[in-house]
Amino acid sequence: MAQNIEIKARATDFASQLKLAGQISDKALVTLVQIDTFFKVADGRLKLREFSDGLSETKAQLIFYRRVNTSGPKLSEYHITETDDAAGLKSVLQKAYGIRQVVKKVRSLYMVGRTRLHFDAVENLGDFIELEVVLDEHDSLQGGEAPAEARAKAKAEAEALMQQLNIRASDLIDVAYVDLLEKLAA
């Protein structure tokens, strides 16, 4: 089980915050077009992500994750598997579970050390920033939750990046894009 400490926030000045990210990033900007199809499951969130970087063919991943709905840095546990048959897998999952919601976004991705900086333009929702401080295998206990010390260090990294990117506590959101879209539709 992979884990990260993450935050999600509304972007207050998307262009300038993206520029700041470029100034502190270790790697070049990668832009991805992503379509996440969420399925109705009783526990956690299950989505099929289809994406393209515009340079190669469309790829797909099946992603299951759990995290609490709280604002601020929080632990997320996730499992990812690649698939070459997105359409077939989507059809089977739709029949088995039903589709909950589809989230479409353009993601601009920078890396700062072990942290993924996502700048997301989400269709029908607006602009957001997501930080994911990846906990490596050495941070976790035999497939269990990462120790408190590793989580605290990752949380401190997220908070430092929030300051560098001008993300305020009042900008933080506590739910996933799929939840925001459902609230919008209600």
Question: The domain 2-185: what is its CATH number?
Answer: 2.40.320.10
- List pLDDT tens digits, range 137-167: 665 555 566 788 888 999 999 999 999 999 9
The ranges assigned to domains in the chain are 2-185
Tokens representing 57?
Answer: 């063919």
d(CA 131, CA 5): 8
Per-residue pLDDT, 157 = 95
Please answer whether residues 14 and 127 qualify as being in contact, where contact means their C-beta atoms are separated by less than 8 angstroms. yes
CB burial of 20-49 (b: ≥16 within 10 Å; e: otherwise) equals bbeeebeeeeeebebbbbbbeeeeebbbbb
- Are residues 11 and 128 in contact, defined by beta-carbon separation less than 8 angstroms? yes
Measured between alpha carbons, how far is 74 from 37 in angstroms, rounded to an integer?
23
User: How far apart are alpha carbons 65 and 69 in whole angstroms?
Assistant: 12
Query: What confidence category does residue 18 fall into, taking pLDDT thresholds of 50, 70 and 90?
Result: very high
